Structure 1
Amino acid sequence: MTLERPIAPDPYELLPTVPSFNLTSDDVVNGEPMDAAHAHGSAGGDNVSPHLAWSGFPAETQSFVVTCFDPDAPTGSGFWHWVLVNLPASVTELPRGVAEDKLGGAFSVRNDYGEQGFGGAAPPPGDRPHRYVFAVHALDVERLDVGPQASPAFVGFNLAFHTLARAVIRPSYQVKE
C-alpha cells in the first residue's frame, strides 16, 4: 500500500543558497537505490553507515557536520537518520560503518530513532522510494556549541549560521510489501 501524499521538498532547497563541493561514496549513488546494508534492522538491514568522501570545500573550513535526512517520511517533519557533529577539518572521509570514537572528538546527536549514531533507512513497507539526503556541511567554526543530547533541529538551526558550503548525495530506499 503506497501512502498517497505530495512529495516533500528537498530540505536544502528551502535554506539560503551556499556554495557546493564534491561528495562521493563507494556505497551510495545519487538517485539510485541503497543496498540493504544501509537499512535499519527494523527494515531487514544491517544498519551500517555508508562510505563518504569529500573534497573541494572552502580553504577556510574549520570543521564538518555530516547529516542524513529522509524528507519523505510520513511525519510532517521528515526523519533524521544521522547528525554527526564537530568533525575536525582534517577528516575528509568516513569509512563504511565508521566508528565515531576514532573521529577526534566528533559525536552524533540523537537521531529520530532516539539513538546516537547512524540509523539506517526504514520507510514504511510498500511506500514509494524515499530519498535519503546525505550532506556534508563545511563550517566556519571548529565546533558547534551543541552537546550529544541536542536535537537534530537545534543542530540544523546552528548550521544555518555557520555553513560555508555544503555537499549532498541523495540515494533512495524502498521496502517492498
Structure 2
Amino acid sequence: MTLLGRLLRNRRAGDTHLAWNLPNLQGPELLTLTSRNFDDGAPMPLEHCAKHVRGGDRSPHLAWTGLPPGTAQLLVVVEDVDVPVGKPAVHCAALVDPATGELETGALAGKEPGPGVRVLRSTIGRGYHGPAPVKGHGPHHYVFQLFALAAPVDGAARPDRARPRTLLPTIAAPVLARGRLTGVFER
C-alpha cells in the first residue's frame, strides 16, 4: 500500500467541493469550533482513527461558541479533503439539537449516537468513520464543519436516507453561523 500511496501522492480532492463551499451553506463565520482532543491544524489522536489502522473509531469531542439566537438545528459534516478522488469523502454527517451545547467523545456513533444527535449517511456508511488514509499518501486533512441552521432539515428531503452529496446541496434552511476545525492524520 505504501507504493500506491506514493503513486497517488499528487492526487487530492481539494476543498473546492467541501460542504463549506456550497452556495446554500454560506453564512457568517461566527462559530468557534474546538475539541479537547486536538487543536486546529494539529494531528488527530489514534483513538479517533479507523479500527483497521489500530484506532478506536470514536468521534472526537466537539464544542462550539457563538451560537446565534434562532438556531433551530446544527449540521455537522466531517470531510477528508485529501482523498485521491474528485470530491472529498464525507466521514460523518449529523443533525444536532442546539441545546446539547457540545458533543462528547463518541457522540457521533452510528449505532448509539449521543443525546440530541441524529446521524445521517456518509460516504462510508452511517455515523462517524475515523481517518484511514492510504499508507504513504501523505497527510490528510479532516475538516469538521458546523452549521447553525434557522430551520430543521426535514420534510421531503428525507435526510436519513439521502446520500450526503445529494442531501447537502438541497438544504434550504438559512445558515445563521458556521465554524470549522481541521484535524490531520498520516500513515
Please give the range of the TM-score, normalised by the shorter of the 2 chains. Answer: 0.7 to 0.9
Q: d(CA) in 1 for partners of 2:20 and 2:73?
A: 23
Q: Give 1:75 deviation, angstroms.
A: 1.8
Q: Give 1:120 deviation, angstroms.
A: 0.3
Q: Give 1:48 deviation, angstroms.
A: 0.5
Q: d(CA) in 1 for partners of 2:20 and 2:92?
A: 19
Match of 1:71 among 68, 81, 94: 81
Match of 1:136 among 136, 141, 146: 146
| Structure 2 segments unaligned to the other structure (5+ residues) | none
Residue 107 of structure 1: aligned partner: 118
Are the counterparts in 2 of residues 88 and 142 from structure 1 also a CA contact under 8 Å?
no
Are the counterparts in 2 of residues 83 and 152 from structure 1 also a CA contact under 8 Å?
yes
Are the counterparts in 2 of residues 63 and 140 from structure 1 also a CA contact under 8 Å?
yes
Residue 170 of structure 1: aligned partner: 182
TM-score (norm 1): 0.87
Q: Give 1:7 deviation, angstroms.
A: 6.8
**Is 1:57 paired with 2:97?**
no
Query: What value does the CA root-mean-square deviation take over the aligned residues?
Result: 2.0
Q: d(CA) in 1 for partners of 2:122 and 2:53?
A: 16
Q: Give 1:15 deviation, angstroms.
A: 3.5
Residue 14 of structure 1: aligned partner: 21
Change in Cα spacing, 1:38 to 1:59, as seen in structure 2 (3 Å) is same
Q: Give 1:42 deviation, angstroms.
A: 2.1
Q: d(CA) in 2 for partners of 1:29 and 1:7?
A: 23
What is the aligned length? 172
Q: Output the amino acid matched with 1:14.
A: N
Are the counterparts in 1 of residues 13 and 87 from structure 2 also a CA contact under 8 Å?
no
TM-score (norm 2): 0.82
Between the aligned residues of both structures, percent identity stands at: 30
Q: d(CA) in 2 for partners of 1:162 and 1:43?
A: 38
Change in Cα spacing, 1:94 to 1:44, as seen in structure 2 (3 Å) is same
Q: Output the amino acid matched with 2:168.
A: G
Q: d(CA) in 2 for partners of 1:7 and 1:116?
A: 22
**Is 1:156 paired with 2:156?**
no
